[in-house]
Amino acid sequence: MAGADAVPLLEVEGLDVTFDTLGGPVHAVRGADWSVRQGETLVVLGESGSGKSVSLHAVAGLLPANGHTAGRVRFQGRDVLGLRGAQLRRFCAENYGMVFQDPMSSLDPSFTVGDQIAEILRVHRGASAKDAWQRAMDLLSVVRIDDPARRAKQYPHELSGGMRQRVMIAMAIALDPPLFLADEPTTALDTSVRGAVLETMIELRDRLSMGVVLITHDIGVAAAVADRVAVMYAGRVVEYGTAEQVLHQPGHPYTAALLGSLPRLRRLRSTLTAIPGAPPNAARLPAGCSFHPRCRFATDRCAEELPVLQLSGAGQVAACHWTERLSADGDLGYWRAGGDPLVDARPGDAEQPFVAVENLVKEYPLGSGRKGRVLRAVDDVSFTIPKGTTLGLVGESGSGKSTTAMIMSGLLAPTSGRVVIGGVDIARLSGKAMRDVRRDLQVVFQDPYSSMDPRMTIGQIVDEPLLVHKRGSKAQRRGRVTELLDLVGLDGDYAGRFPHQLSGGQAQRVAIARALALEPALMVLDEPVAALDLSIQAQILNLLRDLQARLGLTYLFIGHDLAAVAYISDRVAVMSSGKIVELDRVDAIYQRPAAAYTRQLLDAVLDPETDLGRYRDRPTTRKEASCVPSAPVTP
């Protein structure tokens, strides 16, 4: 960690980014200020549309042709915003290493990973083919990829997601850059893999004395790695300070509200304090403070006057008119207590099961021929769900949880086993009998937009199941659509809008309204909040709990976020390699896990209260030499 008085490696001052669009200019970043020092990690934290990634792309010269910048970006005292063409490419190659969210979109599928790393050294260092290949294997070892000689000869599709991201890190540090830029590098990774990648990044930062700028929407990641944090909202930096200050004693209402929206394993039975509304569109920002329409502390002044960054602590600044008073009175500490206790009046395990999955198996053939091998995606899975309760199904990618959900939904036939819902084995139904069952069984998917016809209005989308199943006259259906939209917290005016006019949270509410149209008894929720920003995720989780209490719904909730699953569920089943390795009530699973795999998953969950500096301050356990670059290659 760099000293507080160290000279900044990178300084961003008054950065503005504007995009020319058919609808007029869009001000995506407005006067952003932040800096990073050698050996330090700065995390830029924010939700979708906050301007965090655009800021990083402006720094790296990656804006599209319609993007325009103003302000200053200085690297080691040199102004870099004015660089263009070959001069910019040369500067970035020598000084920046960059990693993006999806490594598959950055790696060439037609070349081995070793060739792709070696190419950088041949092009930018003039290395011989032999030296470049040896250095590529050294770099793979540095980023903790075992058996680098074998892995270097493999193609991107032959590696796991975590390995591909490690390859990207190896490419980013190949030229020994002083600054490492990472844009959501762990978002697409499973939680256990995420921790290993973050630990590798911080280890390399310390060994190579790099500065690190990490963009993320994940508060837990920010807490685990950051020395300092810049919180962005609607294109502005609204809070800036050390990780301890910003994440434990926030000075801006938005930061405190984000912390209150986060599901916590330490507070399983407290209602999330969700932020109302949604982040504003950059093309239509409200007057005054952009957060004031959603802020519990807003006054008339907030709606009229744009606040500037002002001190809220020692070296900590926040763009809020009332930060000094709110901090002094302790008003921003409400997030620590959590919301009201959850009321649990649902049936216990002794109730007659409404859903019974028995010895479920799903196999896929590998290769051809009678003796071909098979992949067993679901392997002898059994569980029950009492009526009016929620079973959470958790596991990493490839664990079989979504395949199980598809079989339960009647969208996939099992190889063997039974799925009994309300006394009926749906695995053996087809035609009209299956259509009748589907009235009582509805599915909500991760991406609501993909399940909506973009040519249909929201009213038509919600009305569609009523029309197909001949539920009432046109006027009666119109009234039912209004009722359903109101049930999920949307005004009736939304019926005339189209899917592209909705935010992610609004679209997911519409998907839930449509699923409720036929008054189902069971809802299968397959990662319904995974693609949503934290503040919107809390709204949807609270909505699902409220609907269950009001309508007596039974849920199967699929997820990879263990804290979110714990918040919504009565019991949890943990899946790995197609099998259920543990199944119990939430408190037992999360407080006294029996399976080693469950303990591993729980250990990977990051909480900003308990995991501050978890990877930032962890001493390395590997030999120091393993992370020191080899000698510079020679032509």
pLDDT at 351: 64
pLDDT tens for 442-462 read 999 988 999 899 999 999 999
User: If we measure between CA atoms, which residue out of 369, 310, 394 comes closest to residue 597?
Assistant: 394
- pLDDT for res 373: 84
**pLDDT per residue over 390-410, tens digit each?**
999 999 988 999 999 999 988
20 pLDDT tier (thresholds 50, 70, 90): very high
Tens-place pLDDT, residues 88-121 = 999 999 999 999 988 888 999 999 999 999 999 9
Looking at residue 347, its pLDDT comes to 47
| Coil vs helix vs strand at 626 | helix
Domain ranges of the chain: 8-232, 249-342
The whole-number pLDDT of residue 629 equals: 36
Q: What is the model's pLDDT at position 630?
A: 37
Residue appearing with tokens 């950088």:
120
pLDDT band at residue 503 using 50, 70 and 90 as cut-offs = confident
SS3 441: strand
Residues 395, 576 contacting (CB under 8 angstroms): yes
Query: Which pLDDT value is given to residue 2?
Result: 60
pLDDT in tens, 467-491: 998 999 999 999 999 999 999 999 8
- Predicted pLDDT of residue 188: 82
Q: In Å, how far from its chain's centre is CA 156?
A: 23
- Residues of the chain above pLDDT 70, percent: 93
Res 348: pLDDT: 46
* Helices first, then strands: H and E counts in the chain: 22, 22
Query: Which pLDDT does position 342 carry in this prediction?
Result: 55
Domain 8-232 of CATH type 3.40.50.300: yes
| Chain center to CA of 300 | 34
pLDDT (0 to 100) of residue 1:
55
- The Cα–Cα gap between 231 and 495 comes to 35
CB 156 within 8 A of CB 164: yes
Lowest mean pLDDT segment, chosen from 76-80, 246-250, 329-333:
329-333
Q: Over the stretch 143-201, which tens digit does the pLDDT of each residue have?
A: 999 999 999 999 999 998 899 999 999 999 999 999 999 999 998 888 888 999 999 99
pLDDT band at 23 (very low <50, low <70, confident <90, very high): confident
Query: What is residue 370's predicted lDDT score, i.e. its pLDDT?
Result: 60
Which amino acid makes up residue 386?
Answer: P
Measured CA to CA, the distance from residue 31 to residue 9 in angstroms comes to: 19
Q: How is residue 33 written in tokens? A: 């200020």
- Mean pLDDT (the chain) is 90
Q: For residue 270, give the DSSP letter.
A: B
pLDDT higher than 70, residue 534: yes
Give CA angle at 427 (421, 431), nearest 5°.
100
Rounded (5°) CA angle 125-37-11: 90
Span 319-345, pLDDT tens digits: 999 999 998 888 888 887 665 555 554
Confidence of residue 265 (pLDDT cuts 50, 70, 90): confident
For 114, 164, 209, 444, 626, the CA distances from 622, given in Å and listed in that order, are 23, 21, 17, 45, 7
